[in-house]
Chain A
Amino acid sequence: MKIGVLALQGAVREHCNSLRACGVEPVEVQYMFQLSEIGGLIIPGGESTTVGKLLVRHKMLEVLTDMGRDGFPIFGTCTGLILLAKEISGSQQPRLNLMDITVERNAFGRQIASFERDLAIPEIGEADFHAIFIRAPYIVKVGAGVRVLAKIDDKILLVRQQNLLAAAFHPELTTDLRIHQYFIRICADRP
């Protein structure tokens, strides 16, 4: 199975490296036709307004929304989380409109507030996950079908809704592969 990394803008290389380290061949996805070659897609960190505009310009936004609704696995990190959300506080920017979550952009503050810290994620194992947050969003509200996998206080940071996974931080910037492996299992388990 190959897994795609949306390669319009952002930390594409790092996600490809993480997938390779998991033994999965990555595909840098820039065009619609490539979507049929892959068993899942990662939307990497980047600038959400830029990636959203490029998805619209290349008519990929609606296609990905339809695929996501049909059970195609998508994993969004940071920008990817924002693009997966149905609600983005105070913004009308283009999005995939797939997950029942309300997202606050740059919710921790500007770059000076970017941080790293250990996070408990029982779903992927006992050991804490060292998470890197960069101008990160967080989720303020989730719908009934959304499972919260990690949070700090009331700030929701990792969620799963069936075939969809979204993280406010950047597992691709660390060598801990557990979240990528978790997503690969979602792709492999797809009926």
Chain B
Amino acid sequence: METGTIAVKRGMAEMLKGGVIMDVTTPEQAKIAEDAGAVSVMALERVPADIRAEGGVARMSDPEIIQKIMEAVTIPVMAKARIGHFVEAQILEALEIDYIDESEVLTPADELYHINKHQFKVPFVCGARNLGEALRRIGEGAAMIRTKGEAGTGDVVEAVKHIRTVNEEIRKAVNASDEELMTIAKELQAPYELVLEVKKLGRLPVVNFAAGGIATPADAALMMQLGCDGIFVGSGIFKSDNPAARAKAIVEATTHYQDFKLLAEVSKGIGSAMRGIHVGTMKDEAKIAKRGW
């Protein structure tokens, strides 16, 4: 019997496909998310919009908060560690968290290196803005990828940019001749073997979710139609008027992303979305997605 294998790590993400993973900060919120049909929750002290507003150093959440959330629901629970902070990851593994997000939403702990994720039995999800970044994370052992988007803004524009970039670069690799692939790997700054795998599969070798700015059922369906395997909603639910109704609507929209009548129906009467920040007006140094390398 073998635990912590690539098959069980990547397989876990396969089981989340077509689902919505919601940021929660209390056991009560976790219950609301589970009742709405979330496939998993991300246990946090503060949602990204608050991290952005309050500033300071954002770290791994208090283990007590994480444990209370783990006790409140039967669905899998994820938590975030800082980029490069392998001790936070060790602590999360000791808590038996189901998935670790090595996340740019927290303040990075290492300016050069991400965590060596192969050393852990608990699987990791990491953010990416393009194919090269996604394949570097997979090379380090990530079993799941998400777009970075721009967390805590409620503006979907960056998540769209990131999935479109990944898709475009995958198409380029798929259509390339064999002798072109090493140069493509060089340009992407990605491991050659993983570029070969992308060409063979026509997609990333792991599940790829959307994250960073999804605030409405239409946003979720947009990301699904662009080819994402599922959705992370961070601040979008519990910073809105009616979290329970919005959470349920986003779950429906993620499943039936091509059913436009249903999308119209579920978008009705769910109150106002989070107010948000237009990414185009933000200074470059305020952007979280630039963190990570």
Contact = CB atoms under 8 A, between A and B. Distances in A.
A185 interface: no
A115 B15 contact: no
Which bucket holds chain A's interface residue count?
35 or more
A116 B75 contact: no
Given A30-B255, A49-B37, A173-B11, A111 B18 contact: no
A135 interface: yes
A135 B17 contact: no
Nearest to B19: A9
Interface stretch (A10-18, A63-71, A120-128, A140-148): A10-18
A14 B14 contact: yes
Contact of A7 (B2, B11, B16, B18): B18
Which bucket holds chain B's interface residue count?
35 or more
Interface string B81-111: 0000000000001001111000000000000
Given A46-B17, A91-B74, A135-B76, A111 B37 contact: no
Nearest to B20: A50
B7 interface: yes
A170 interface: yes
B129 to A, nearest CB: 25
Contacts of A50: 19, 37-39, 75, 251
Contact of B11 (A53, A113, A170): A170
A50 B252 CA distance: 10
Contact of B12 (A7, A49, A114, A116): A114
Contact of A114 (B8, B17, B34, B259): B8
Interface string B3-15: 1110110011011
A46 B99 contact: no
A109 B97 CA distance: 11
A91 B19 CA distance: 21
Contacts of B74: 49, 91, 105-106
Nearest to B77: A110
Given A115-B1, A117-B1, A117-B2, A173 B98 contact: no
Contacts of A132: 7-8, 11
Contact of B2 (A105, A109, A116): A116
Contact of B34 (A9, A49, A105, A110): A49
Contacts of A78: 15
A177 B76 CA distance: 29
A133 B5 CA distance: 11
B200 to A, nearest CB: 14
A9 B76 CA distance: 15
B122 interface: yes
Contacts of B122: 111-112
Interface of B: 1-5, 7-8, 11-12, 14-19, 34, 37-40, 74-76, 93, 96-99, 121-123, 251-252, 255-256, 259
20 contacts: A9-B39, A10-B15, A46-B15, A46-B17, A47-B19, A47-B39, A53-B251, A54-B37, A110-B96, A111-B12, A111-B99, A114-B4, A116-B1, A116-B8, A132-B8, A133-B8, A134-B11, A134-B15, A135-B15, A173-B11
Given A78-B15, A116-B8, 9 more contacts: A9-B17, A30-B255, A46-B39, A50-B38, A54-B251, A54-B252, A106-B74, A132-B7, A170-B11
